[in-house]
Structure 1
Amino acid sequence: MRRPTLLMKNERNDDLHRRMSRTMPKGLTMATIAVRARPYLHAIGVFVLVRLTGLVLLAILAGNRHRELFDVLKSWDGDWYLAIAENGYDNVPPRFVDAGGQRTPTTPLAFFPLYPTLIRVVAPITGSDSATAALLVSLIAGCVAAAGILRVARVIDPRPKTGLLLIALWGGAPMAITLSMAYTEALFTALAAWALVGVLERNWLLAGVCTAFAGLVRPSASVLVGTVALAAIVAVFRAGKTWQAMVCAVLSPVGLFGWWGYVAKRTGSLTGWFDIQRQGWFSYFDGGQQTVRFFGDIIDTGNSVMETVTMLLVIAAVVLTILIISARIPWPLWLYGGGTVLMVLVTAGITYSKARFLIPAFPLLIPVARGLANRKRHTMIAATIAYVLFGSWFSAYSLTGWTLAI
């Protein structure tokens, strides 16, 4: 009697699947329904999987050069943030110097305060040391950023796979290893993504608060501040006296201007922070002269893989900027993405850092994600895997095979 019962049960299940297939919109699969049921969980899952791929490749290359993975993940700027988190700005050990090998009492003020503050808060809560807390902050921020990017993508394309592809492309981009390091890329992208969500969904308080905090993370927040504040001002003029948008416009620059003002007071100069950057890290506005010279040198000599790929990535970013402007996506997205590219182009500094400065500009990848989503499944998967593997390899190489700062 058990076999007929099982057969009847299977027939009922088959009938249920047939009825669901008939009632489903065309092109909607069970996998799509699952993603829509738990969208943020899938977004975080994709991000974590891509970042694990990058960490595995980094561990392999680091092992080949007899370096500890944990030490690599907190190198360069990471050491500075950990020193600030552990000692405060006034007590950073003297061994920490700027890119020119110099050190003044105000040198640590080049680094913005929110990330080291979060490290200091998380470390005692988790019972971990500062380095572990820093990596944990980056991981959590990366997951929050993935959720925000998915939310932004839904405004552009309601298909879940487009958003998941955008997350994979962002998380697997060349130099995206910084999302898993004691660096600020993950934290800043999380705040930028949710600020843009606030703009797109007219949640002006969310946009203003996220932008204000982003201004305490890194100087590239100036592009985000300009984008969000402009969008809020436009909303005020179009919709009349919308108090939330007015608050957003006022709130957006508070973090960035507040930190610059604090550094100005500490240094006794209105341009204090900019002076520290110029003298210590050779970073200043030059209208793109250094970028042009850098490109010319690479085209002429092709000195290294790091330099050549960095040049190609910047060129690709310019091309993608043109594509997103012509793709008819909401203007705050292309203004933020394109503005980030423009800042990278016209700012002098450590040229090898240009690739990682582009990581928070995730809207640039929207045309690529859309294009992949329109391809056959096997083509989409193969292309995404190839992209992630290349990005992960280049990221690992930049930290283990390249000897200069990123």
Structure 2
Amino acid sequence: MAAFGLIRAFDALIIILASHDQMALTSGSNPGMFVYQDLPPDPGYFGVIINWDGQWYEYIAAEGYPGAGAAGTATGSNPDPYWAWAFPPLFPMAVRAVMLMSGLSMPVAATALNLLFGAAAMIVFYRLVERTGGVALGVSAVLLTSCFIGAPILQMAYSESLALLLLVSTLWAIEGRHYLSAASLTALLAFTRLITVPLTVVCALLFASIAWRRGARLSRRDALGLAAVGVIGIVGIWLWSGMAAHLQSTSAAASKRTSSGSMLNLGWFGHSVRDGNWPFAVTLAILVLILFAISRNRWTDDWPHTLRSWLWVYPTFLLAATGMSGGILRYLALCPSVALLPAASRGIFTPRNRVLVVTAACVLGLALQVYYIDKFLVVSPGTFMP
């Protein structure tokens, strides 16, 4: 947890320095970006962390979700407030509760919550990995996840910190066969980030693994427990969108804001194929196969089963269900298995050399975080949307 705090402090310093390059943000100043709160140039740390989707989360935390007749009341280059329904409620409502109870501003409340969520996630993640891989691998897991290129998003006014906490807690509960807890956590995750479908695949793979090891003697408890978590994972992708459609009482056009039908476009794979860029599509498929091979290799024998599966299942889900954009870097912040890859060296390196590899990966990760903050999180000419 101390390492996580120090790295977040390092990122805070980089954000403060990089904020000098941020331009003023006003309604309509940056096409494609919603602006709820106008920001001056060089807005400092608390201005940068509410960039991009942070503006939507601030809108929801401050005003709640729009009801009927709210069209046109929001500001920004896209003035339709019904886009707020695309953001699941658990994180912004938690921030709203802290704001109401403490009187803190949204950026401060979001920072405090996300640092707590992130620290708790590191503790749970350490326990998850340490259970099978020992202390050294557990420490490596925390360091590598904290130094991952997309990790600065964990202190932005985004839902990733809470989602990471719920995700690793779910994996920990599944590994410990605490299926009621796993099912409850999966349901909460469905109201934080729409990433529950991969958990269904993880449960199916674990089911198959247990059945293979025990033959036909798979216990009823394991079968029913994994099935329950898997069903919630599938249903979870529609839980928020269905509830939002019911609560909106608006036009059909507004309900599309929360539709999960965009997954039918097959994300990066579909975009590449439709553009005729078959080499890129094949490259993506090969990348997934490499991750799958690593997950089945002896290099990751000391990883928890669920974490090995998540290594290739979640990236496959991202490539098939998200649009082609730089946002993939922050989405991968919810794939700690990828961050842990430099430590996937069982039987290859000596313990001492493994430490050197992890250290080098952390240094490289911190350097990439500086680039990520400057080019993705800070809004200036030539930046990319995270």
TM over 0.5: yes
Match of residue 193, structure 2, among 214, 218, 221: 218
SS of 1:141's equivalent? helix
1:331 deviates by: 3.8
Q: In the alignment, is the contact (CA less than 8 A) between 2:203 and 2:226 conserved in 1?
A: no
Instruction: Give the equivalent residue in structure 2 for 1:285.
Output: 265
State the distance in 2 between where 1:378 and 1:192 align: 27
1:355-366 equivalence runs, <5 A: 355-366=329-340
State the distance in 1 between where 2:62 and 2:362 align: 39
1:99-178 equivalence runs, <5 A: 101-104=77-80, 106-158=82-134, 160-178=135-153
Match of residue 334, structure 1, among 282, 290, 308: 308
How many matched pairs? 345
Q: Relative to structure 1, is the Cα distance of residues 386 and 313 closer, same or farther in structure 2, using a 3 angstrom cutoff?
A: farther
State the distance in 2 between where 1:314 and 1:67 align: 42
SS of 2:352's equivalent? coil
Instruction: Give the equivalent residue in structure 2 for 1:190.
Output: 165
1:379 deviates by: 2.5
Q: Relative to structure 1, is the Cα distance of residues 245 and 345 closer, same or farther in structure 2, using a 3 angstrom cutoff?
A: closer
Q: In the alignment, is the contact (CA less than 8 A) between 1:109 and 1:263 conserved in 2?
A: yes
Instruction: Give the equivalent residue in structure 2 for 1:324.
Output: 295
Q: Unaligned 5+ residue runs, structure 2?
A: 23-41, 212-216
Q: In the alignment, is the contact (CA less than 8 A) between 1:198 and 1:207 conserved in 2?
A: yes
Q: In the alignment, is the contact (CA less than 8 A) between 1:138 and 1:180 conserved in 2?
A: yes
State the distance in 1 between where 2:195 and 2:121 align: 17
1:107 deviates by: 1.9
Percentage identity across paired residues of the two chains? 21
Match of residue 4, structure 2, among 23, 31, 47: 47
1:94 deviates by: 3.6
**Deviation per CA, 1:84-136, whole angstroms, max 9, x where unpaired?**
01101116874455xxx545463211110100110011223333122211111
State the distance in 2 between where 1:357 and 1:173 align: 12
Q: In the alignment, is the contact (CA less than 8 A) between 1:110 and 1:273 conserved in 2?
A: no
1:394-405 equivalence runs, <5 A: 394-397=371-374, 398-400=376-378, 402-405=382-385
1:274 deviates by: 8.5
Structure (1 or 2) with the larger CA radius of gyration: 1
State the distance in 1 between where 2:104 and 2:169 align: 28
1:231-380 equivalence runs, <5 A: 231=206, 238-241=218-221, 248=229, 256-266=237-247, 275-276=256-257, 285-286=265-266, 288-290=269-271, 319-326=290-297, 327-328=300-301, 329-349=303-323, 351-371=325-345, 374-376=351-353, 379-380=356-357
- Residue type of the alignment partner of 1:195: T
Q: In the alignment, is the contact (CA less than 8 A) between 1:80 and 1:96 conserved in 2?
A: no
Q: TM-score, normalised by structure 1?
A: 0.72
SS of 2:334's equivalent? coil
Q: In the alignment, is the contact (CA less than 8 A) between 2:111 and 2:156 conserved in 1?
A: yes
SS of 1:154's equivalent? helix
Q: In the alignment, is the contact (CA less than 8 A) between 1:317 and 1:364 conserved in 2?
A: no
State the distance in 2 between where 1:194 and 1:222 align: 16
Structure having the larger proportion of residues in helix = 1
State the distance in 2 between where 1:374 and 1:317 align: 28
State the distance in 1 between where 2:238 and 2:161 align: 22
Instruction: Give the equivalent residue in structure 1 for 2:214.
Output: none
1:324 deviates by: 2.3
Q: Relative to structure 1, is the Cα distance of residues 325 and 381 closer, same or farther in structure 2, using a 3 angstrom cutoff?
A: closer
Q: In the alignment, is the contact (CA less than 8 A) between 1:141 and 1:186 conserved in 2?
A: yes
1:392 lines up with 2:369 in the alignment: yes
- Residue type of the alignment partner of 1:194: S
State the distance in 2 between where 1:248 and 1:283 align: 21
Q: Relative to structure 1, is the Cα distance of residues 64 and 88 closer, same or farther in structure 2, using a 3 angstrom cutoff?
A: closer
**Deviation per CA, 1:317-371, whole angstroms, max 9, x where unpaired?**
8744542232344442233332220122123525111111111011223342244
Q: In the alignment, is the contact (CA less than 8 A) between 2:342 and 2:357 conserved in 1?
A: no
Q: Unaligned 5+ residue runs, structure 1?
A: 1-43, 300-311
SS of 1:352's equivalent? coil
State the distance in 2 between where 1:142 and 1:318 align: 30
SS of 1:90's equivalent? coil
Structure 1 range deviating more: 242-251 or 384-393: 242-251
State the distance in 1 between where 2:209 and 2:358 align: 40
- Residue type of the alignment partner of 1:59: I
Match of residue 203, structure 1, among 174, 178, 197: 178
Instruction: Give the equivalent residue in structure 1 for 2:37.
Output: none
State the distance in 2 between where 1:86 and 1:226 align: 37
1:58 deviates by: 2.2
